[in-house]
Amino acid sequence: MARKIFQRFAPSQQKLREVRSLRILGDWVYEPNLWHINRHSTAMAFAIGLFCAMVPAPGQVFVAAFAAVRLRANLPLSISLIFVTNPLTMPVIYYAAYELGAFILATPLQAIEFEISWSWLTQRLGDIWQPFLLGCFVIGVIAGVLGYITIDVLWRWRVSSAWQNRATRRARGENNHP
């Protein structure tokens, strides 16, 4: 069922080849494994996307795309999952990352008033970068691993459930097709 939902939104191979802007990337972008929906590619896409979402730097899309290509994960899903961190969720997630990093490093928390400005980045980030980056890394690893395991377990459960339902229908002598 989830596979059908993903496939409905995923572009076909023919549609991809019609997008002129993708041609500059070469033939690797047309690799079928990057666009297929299966247990491995979907679970790996969740791991990549959720990990890359916690990378506190511009270019998350490129990191997720590179990792998806190298690890043969679903490319669109990997890229779309990085938007877990967005302007609404970033302050909460990144402050939690800073607190976690400070806890792990046993450093006292500093009072931080976050603002999106170059001066704040150059002045305040220098004071908290170590616990902040460590927290982002730890949350990214945890989110990626949990994402992979969750999708893998749910996929296996769904397939097992479908097999059991099919076996039950066969045992009753019911037809598999409505």
What integer pLDDT is reported at residue 143 of this predicted model?
96
Mean pLDDT along residues 64-72:
87
DSSP string, 49-114: HHHHHT--STTHHHHHHHHHHHHT--HHHHHHGGGGS-TTTHHHHHHHHHHHHHHHHT-PPPP---
* Structural domain boundaries in the chain: 2-172
> Which of 45, 15, 20, 46 minimizes the C-alpha distance to 33?
45
3-state secondary structure of 31: coil
Residue 113 has phi, psi (to 5 degrees) of -115, 105
What integer pLDDT is reported at residue 23 of this predicted model?
60
What integer pLDDT is reported at residue 99 of this predicted model?
92
Residue 101 has pLDDT above 60, yes or no: yes
pLDDT digits (tens, 9 = 90+) for 49-63: 999 999 988 888 888
pLDDT digits (tens, 9 = 90+) for 10-30: 656 666 566 665 565 566 666
